[in-house]
Amino acid sequence: MLTDKTIGLVLSGGGVRGMAHIGLIKAMKEHGVEAQMVAGTSIGALVGALYANNNTVDEMLTFFKETPIFQYSFFTINKPGFIDTERYAAIFKEYFPHNAFESLKKPLFIAATDLLSGKETMFHSGQLIKPLLASAALPPVFSPVDIDGILYADGGIMNNFPKEYLEERTGFIIGSNVSITVPMQKKDLRNSIQLTGRVTSLMIHASNDEKLHECDLFIEPKELDKIGVLDKKGIENAFLIGYDHGSRALEKIMTKPASS
């Protein structure tokens, strides 16, 4: 039985589309499936932290609905990036008052990118808020986060789906990928910004597609492609898409006859 195994949950980056992760978590709860540990990148790290903190689905959605993406007072001219990522620390402190991985109810592993060495870093102990902010600090919108003199940015630069963090620690892995790549028209590649976005998306997809399909159960809702990465209007829709895909995936695997 699925519930007899140590379950790991892996959550990708992908901006607002990451609300689909919360939809999957709701479906898991309804099916009596609970992950014992979580790994995530960027928005996946944030959702993973809330899940590991035992926040309810409603509390998770409220966090993202009420946390501003673009706030005038957060804009900076003194740091690389348009928005000072560390200004969000006070908001995060309301949800994580002890500011420590050890205060969470489940082990959490999150990926961030060390911009100075050009290497991936996995955080799983000590202070919590700065690594969370760093993992979600998407360049060039959000400034890198200084942790012990090192500048860290979005974990998705190096590892958008950190499944390997849980491979030796769990017996069953559930994955949720919201960095969607679908075919597009030539007319949609008209400028440098669109070209850069497309190339980045393809690079991320290529590096994570194999890992996703190695999961024991995964969702990758193609409908999320219609939702902008930073478009908060898509929060509810992304959540419902994740819930629908999660429910169907769980129904399928839980009604599957046990192998002899």
**Contact of 39 with 9, CB cutoff 8 Å:** yes
β-pairing, 217-219 with 37-41? Answer: unpaired
In the block, tokens 């995964």 appear at 218
Catalytic residue among 42, 135, 179, 247: 42
Q: Is 12 designated active site?
A: no
Residue 187 CA to residue 162 CA, distance in Å, equals: 34
Residue 40, amino acid: G
CA 213 to chain centre: 17
Cis? peptide before 140, omega within 30° of 0: yes
How far is the CA of 163 from the CAs of 103, 158, 187, in angstroms? Answer: 23, 13, 35
Catalytic residue among 154, 176, 179, 247: 154
Q: Is 42 designated active site?
A: yes
Catalytic positions are 42, 154
